[in-house]
Amino acid sequence: MSYSIKKVIALIIISSTLTGCGSGQMASTRLIKQVTDGVEAQTDEIRLRNIKVIKTSTGAGVLIGTLVNWSDKSDVITSVTINNQPAIYTAKSSELLRNKPITFVGDIANADAYISMLDKEPGYRIPVTFTFASAAPVTLDTLIVNGDGIYEVLNRYNQVATAVIPQEAN
């Protein structure tokens, strides 16, 4: 009987160390910060959320993400660079007012930023830098996502759809 209890205790100890349950507060799965394709950052009270770059079928790099100012003091986006290239940036307004998000791509998009030729492949990371009138600039290590599936047709602000739809011959 005592031999089987020792055997059960030994199995529990071995299984908890092999599965990582014995890692406690330093378990590697507990330390994961990025749970989506997009990255996040903050400067002063400006939050940058779900920032990523979509490589379209034409080779362009289109920025996706949302910026939200939590401060009562407004700020302004002065420039955006993607992969160290100045992005073509258009917006309904570049002013970041409290709790009035600036959104790149989507049904509520009110801004657009892209570069016409992205020389890196999906899966790689590139720098995306936002500069502001007051807040410190932010550079994010951003993932490039392939422009297919849910990213095949992008609802962009003040832009035509980015998908290339092949036409059938008559």
Percent share of the chain, pLDDT over 70:
79
Which region, left, alpha or beta, applies to residue 8 given φ > 0 means left and ψ of -120 to 50 means alpha?
alpha
Alpha-carbon gap, residue 124 to 143, rounded angstroms: 6
Name the β-bridge partners of 62: 54, 114
Residue 160 — very low, low, confident or very high, per pLDDT cuts 50/70/90? very low
CATH T-level fold of 39-151: Immunoglobulin-like (2.60.40)
**Is pLDDT above 90 for 20?**
no
pTM, 2 dp: 0.75
**Is pLDDT above 50 for 165?**
no
Residue at token pair 């080779």: 59
Q: Supply the mean pLDDT for the chain.
A: 86
Where is 12: in which H helix or E strand? helix 2-19
